[in-house]
Structure 1
Amino acid sequence: MLKEKVMSTALTGNEEALRILADYLKDDMQACNRTIISRMDSPVPLIPQLAAHLIAAGGKRLRPLLTLASARLCGYPYGPEHQRHIKLAACVEFIHTATLLHDDVVDDSNLRRGLASANAVFGNKASVLVGDFLFARSFQLMTDDGSLKVMGILSSAAATIAEGEVLQMSTQNDLSTSIEKYLDVIHGKTAALFAAACRIGAIITERPEREELALESFGTNLGMAFQLVDDALDYAANQGTLGKTIGDDFREGKITLPVLAAYQKAEGVEKVFWKRVIEQNEQTDQDLEMALSYIEKSHAIQATMDKADWYAQKAIDALNVFEETPLRKMLVDTTYYTVNRAR
């Protein structure tokens, strides 16, 4: 559980904490959104059409928000001549959106953020190619920034994301996957970009390495907590909360902590059930409901949330190198919101 001192200052599990952070960074975020829209433009009509579909779907833009917040936390100066954090926040969002487009094709997903996914509307080929376009745009923005260190961190994150997705594919339907390997998957597919998004805020402000690494640790642990909660929500949320079809991970045979925790406690018919529905991928219409009952019985969601709380506390502790400011508190509250989404 999160430390009492953190819980006493944190907001409730709704989106209020994230809204306060977004309001505080409103001018920066508006400039970032303008950059995103302008860089999504193309003389090829399908690209801005698909891009407009993604923008209409909304999303919290958490990763670019973290880049902007990290830069401001480190004292990045204001003024029209200081725009590096804006372009790099847009770069982070392009990397993230490109991976979402590709993921939805790989997973054959029909929903994204509560609306029809891009591949459901435009087809798989268009989604893959526009994802490639967004990756290319992200590297253009890195080049525009001109920092080899920034480029190295963001390009390494992009490669790590791909490795995480491939590792997840290799563990699919495999109940012998260790919890350690599962954590490697979510570090690659999610936490690596959170870490890079936060660290570059310190780099462009030319802060000491101690602060760079503190923000990298904050981002890593926040990303781990974020993905653990997402994996819990697939078995504990309603469709409106999750923004995708409930049970997608189950139907795809994805190995997540709720499944691993339930399987490790299973005996007899329960163990046979998990092997049939996950390893053999033989599922009936009633199996999701049965899986939910076994997960509840084994307290697998609680085990997942306990792990998310542990990472969230590590994220908050990493911020201790910075002086207490309203922005630091907003980042603490945003961390608490992240783990409270499933409660």
Structure 2
Amino acid sequence: MVNRRRFLALGSLAGLFPTLSFGAKPSVASPIDNKPVIETATATPMVISTWKQPKANAAAQAALDKGGSALDAVEAGVRIPESDPKDTSVGYGGRPDRDGHVTLDACIMDEKGNAGSVTFLEHIKHPISVARAVMEKTPHVMLSGEGALNFALSQGFKKENLLTKESEAAWKKWLKTAKYKPVVNIERHDTIGMLAIDNKGNISGACTTSGLAFKMRGRVGDSPIIGAGLFVDNDIGGACATGLGELVMRTCGSFLVVELMRQGRTPQQACEEAALRIIKKQDYKDIQVGFLAVNKKGEFGAYSIQSGFNYTLTKNKKTEVTDAKSYLK
């Protein structure tokens, strides 16, 4: 606590040096109320997602067109690959763990900083919707395993067999050698991370996965971890990650991207710096991690360690898939 004598002394210094600035002029935060200083103009509504996901983006954009929130949009968007049996790294049809079980992880985060997450969830096709229910209907952020399943069933979600014949056949083929080596850009890991800005300029995000194919039973990656696979700060922007989740978790990757934007980096610069943090500490030649980010002004960026990472952007009713810049060409 500052006593009266100390207070007067500080006041005297302020009088002697009325224009003195102790440190650089703050560019991203007010010293008075600690609120970020950013442009207040509402960005054009948009949807951006990891990898080639035009159908997912279309569903998200449809939600926005109906007046839905960014939260509604990202949930609607990622439910598309969750229910697609041809997408073998998320939801129904996802590749199983090494014991033959399809286990799912997902998280969601809204413009108010609320978040919900499920990990190690079985038998539920849409873990992203369970994650939203965790956020909105419980006092918790994350539920896991049997507890997550019981909660989902209590909320009316249907218990289903998620292991398709195709994924089961791939698993049985893998069992012949049981060699575990993730392949860059083949196992897309989180499959889809999505960020959206709605008509009010609010940002929300979602991330959903069945994780690494043939992973150890119980393994959870970065996708359901708030701050790793996904992070949103509505005053600044949002970010999501894809690739080898263990590396993203070790650097709190998505949180790092948003914090770098808070410090004044563009989304592109922030994604590049986050990737470089991993590169500096890892043998990166055979691993892939990619970051995707958007700020409050609607500027976006994407960057990965290896080439081959792409993203899907929907803006002004136009959807494009673009290859992200990468450290290795």
- TM-score by length of structure 1 reads 0.27
- Select the structure that is richer in strand: 2
- Select the structure that is richer in helix: 1
Task: Specify which structure has the bigger relative contact order, considering alpha-carbon pairs within 8 angstroms and separated by 6 or more residues.
Answer: 1
